[in-house]
Structure 1
Amino acid sequence: MSDLSIPTYGSADSGSVSPIDFEPLAGSVIVLAYDNVGEVGGVSIEARELRNDRGGVSRGALAGVKQDEYRSNNSFIKAEELPELLKAFSALLAVNSNPTKFSNFEVKYKTHEDFEIIAFNSRNGISYVVRSGTAQVFLQRQHLLRIVEMLNVVWKKIESLQ
């Protein structure tokens, strides 16, 4: 697998139903299907599909960030967001020097449900943070590459369900 395989979002209709629409109501049935894809540096990725008995379907990735035993958070990344998120990973991984005329910089990307990736300058060169809500972990380049691989696994799973 190449380092930065970015899917194109084409015919994959993962359903535009938000996971919030899957809050269990009295007398309703919810089906949650998932595959644990992997974990690296405190970031876990799952492929997920939620179905309700009204015909709603939502597919995507659940990204968990565990900062420590007291602080962790999950963000659901809808299938429609995955291609742009993977492009953002590519853009952040391409940063190899300060792109500004200032001493310090941050390059950020954030999904609708608060999954955020950040590249910034540090004494050791370019550093990275992955954040979900208030939980964050500091990662190295190889960790981000592994997250890209895991998100591509999720994308291929979603594509196979069409």
Structure 2
Amino acid sequence: MSLSRSLSLALLMIATLFGSVRAQRRWDQRLPPPRDLQFYEPRNKLEELENQVETVLVKGRTYVGTLRLQSGSVRVEATEIRNAANSTRVTGVGITINPELTIEVRSLIDYEEIDRLVKALDLMVKADDSITKLAHFEIRYRTRGDFEVMIVKQISGSVVVAIEGGFFERTRLFLTPDELTKLRWLIAQAKEKLDEK
């Protein structure tokens, strides 16, 4: 092999490697920045009270129900956290998403957010083709504690329902519209448990 062919081949290989490195760099710029554990701030009252240090916290839970799905389960609990020193009390709902193959994720929803979530779920369950003039739709609702519900009409015409939770690692489960109605009922039952006292 001549010197000019060897040099040409070497330059071609270097250019190819440089191009792939540049492509990876452009791809990294499209991804959102990762959330930093060190700078985590509580997003609602339950998380704020739960993250207090050097404080005696009393946590109470009432199990409301578990919705068993094809790819995992969702547990709903009425939750109360109280600071023993100054009697600060915060209530809400804890929703634990437990997929079969990954770790479970818990989202806390303040009491003040429960009614808005239930109303949003009522609206979402009724979604059909009349919601938009366009062929496909996507409906989303997210609480401050990063519990998210999505309904998507796909290109194939099928409707997909999913719930998602988590702050650093997002976890998603797929449901049927009937299962979403059952989840809405469990959340409403948790609110009734909190209203009993």
**TM-score, normalised via structure 2 length:** 0.67
* 2:164 aligned with 1:128: no
> Can you give the 5+ residue segments of structure 1 that lack an aligned partner in the other structure?
1-15
Query: Which residue of structure 2 aligns with residue 9 of structure 1?
Result: none
Q: 2:74 aligns with which of 43, 46, 61?
A: 43
**1:50 to 1:59, Cα distance in 2 relative to 1, 3 A:** same
Q: Deviations over 1:14-65 (max 9, x none)?
A: xx84332233523x31111101111112211111011112211110100111
- Bigger Cα Rg: 2
Q: What RMSD over aligned residues (CA atoms) do the two structures have, in Å? A: 1.8
Given that residues 19 and 50 in structure 1 are in contact (C-alpha distance below 8 angstroms), is that contact kept between their aligned partners in structure 2? no
Alpha-carbon distance in 1 for matches of 2:65, 2:190: 10
**Would you identify which runs of 4 or more consecutive aligned residues in structure 1 move more than 6 Å?**
none
Alpha-carbon distance in 2 for matches of 1:137, 1:32: 27
Quick one: percent identity of the two aligned structures? 22
Q: How far has the Cα of 1:147 moved from its partner?
A: 0.8
Given that residues 120 and 128 in structure 1 are in contact (C-alpha distance below 8 angstroms), is that contact kept between their aligned partners in structure 2? yes
Greater relative contact order, per chain length (Cα 8 Å cut-off, separation 6+): 1
More strand by proportion, 1 or 2?
A: 1
> Can you give the 5+ residue segments of structure 2 that lack an aligned partner in the other structure?
1-43
Q: How far has the Cα of 1:153 moved from its partner?
A: 1.1
